[in-house]
């Protein structure tokens, strides 16, 4: 098993109604990646789908993928233009995110929780994950 030092939260920056399959299709069929860019996807109803095994490296944050687990929730932008960063997490997504991060922290106690924005000049995931999950 590779060493996991970071749990990094993302948003899809798209339609909050997107399914896990939509994201897989986008990454593999449109972007032609060899595998999906995130390990876990959380839909608007709080369903968590694992897209790739934890031991495989995903494509979440350039330069930080080797020791990270990338988690994404559907949404994170206004739902009219999909351009304005906005915390669109539903109550179910908030519950699921917290539960998933808690589980992953118990599996990887040395891993710290971040948002994509902590590594890049981006809004992703449209909220301050580091602060919100400081208690996990």
Q: Does 116 participate in binding Zn ion (rule CB under 5 A)?
A: yes
Q: Does 124 participate in binding Zn ion (rule CB under 5 A)?
A: yes
Given the rule CB under 5 A, which of 74-82, 96-104, 113-121, 128-136 is the region that contacts Zn ion? 113-121
Per-residue buried b or exposed e for 112-131, using 16+ beta carbons within 10 Å of the residue's own CB: bbbbbbbbeebbbbbbebee
Least distance CB 67 / Zn ion (angstroms): 17
Beta carbon nearer to Zn ion, 18 or 106: 18
Q: Does 10 participate in binding Zn ion (rule CB under 5 A)?
A: yes
N-terminal to C-terminal alpha carbon distance within the chain:
23
- Minimal CA–CA distance to 51: which of 23, 14, 13? 23
Q: Applying CB under 5 A, which residues contact Zn ion? A: 10, 116, 124
């Amino acid at each position: 098993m590779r060493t996991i030092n970071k749990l990094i939260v993302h948003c899809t920056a798209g339609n909050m109604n997107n399914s896990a399959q939509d994201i897989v299709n986008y990454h593999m069929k449109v972007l032609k990646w060899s595998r999906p860019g995130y390990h876990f996807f959380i839909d608007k109803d709080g369903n968590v789908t694992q897209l790739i095994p934890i031991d495989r490296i995903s494509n979440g944050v350039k330069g930080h993928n080797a020791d990270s687990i990338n988690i994404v929730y559907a949404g994170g932008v206004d739902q009219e233009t999909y351009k304005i960063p906005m915390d669109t997490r539903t109550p179910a997504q908030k519950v699921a995110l917290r539960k998933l991060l808690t589980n992953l922290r118990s599996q990887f106690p040395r891993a710290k929780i971040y948002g994509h924005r902590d590594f890049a000049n981006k809004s992703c995931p449209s909220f301050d994950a580091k602060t919100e999950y400081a208690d996990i």
